[in-house]
Amino acid sequence: MPRKEATQLKHIIYSSRPLGFGDKTVEQILSSSRKNNPSVEVTGLLIYGADLYLQLLEGPSTAVEQTFNRIKSDARHDNIRILKESSTNRRIFASWTMRPQDLRLMMWDEDDIKKGLVENFSPSQAFNVFDNLSREFDQFIYLHETKWQDSQPSNGGVYTSP
């Protein structure tokens, strides 16, 4: 059987400052992503807060570039900075059309954000944020699947009467 060629993918990690931030704005961004991304095979994660967007986009190179170009022209973003742009052969958020992550749940405080700590990340620091989040999500899912499986009957899932 012929071996399937690995598809070359692209990652772009960028930061921006939100304009007109609010829950409704975030929901619109996520809704648009969930609608548009599956057809072009773009996946990723958006960390959002009143003072910062930090996003990883991944997928086929052309699709990621087109998606990022739309973001650059989106009036909800200001001061867009690419922190990392690279080719890869693996996704880190393969099952998420666009996973949201509230900035308030991250390790940075308000002063860090206002002083531009995140926007000045090196490419490896930026990637590590997302790589670590993907590992945490994978562990969370694994633990919950394992607990669910452990709670199922050991006779192939068939319930029998006593």
157 lies in some domain: no
So what's the pLDDT on residue 27?
Answer: 92
30 lies in some domain: yes
- What is the Cα–Cα distance from 42 to 34, expressed in whole angstroms? 10
- What is the Cα–Cα distance from 86 to 67, expressed in whole angstroms? 15
Q: Tens digit of pLDDT per residue, the chain (162 long)?
A: 454 455 789 999 999 999 989 889 999 999 999 999 999 999 999 999 999 999 999 999 999 999 999 999 999 999 999 999 999 999 998 888 898 999 998 989 989 999 999 999 999 999 999 999 988 765 544 444 444 445 545 555 444 444
- What is the Cα–Cα distance from 56 to 80, expressed in whole angstroms? 13
- What is the Cα–Cα distance from 94 to 41, expressed in whole angstroms? 9
Token digits of residue 143: 């633990």
42 lies in some domain: yes
**Residue 71: enclosing H or E segment and its boundaries?**
helix 61-72
154 lies in some domain: no
135 lies in some domain: yes
So what's the pLDDT on residue 29?
Answer: 93
84 lies in some domain: yes
What is the number of structural domains in the chain?
A: 1
Check which CATH number belongs to the domain holding 128 and give it.
Answer: 3.30.70.100
Q: What is the residue range of 103's domain?
A: 9-149
- What is the Cα–Cα distance from 21 to 25, expressed in whole angstroms? 6
158 lies in some domain: no
Token digits of residue 26: 């975030």
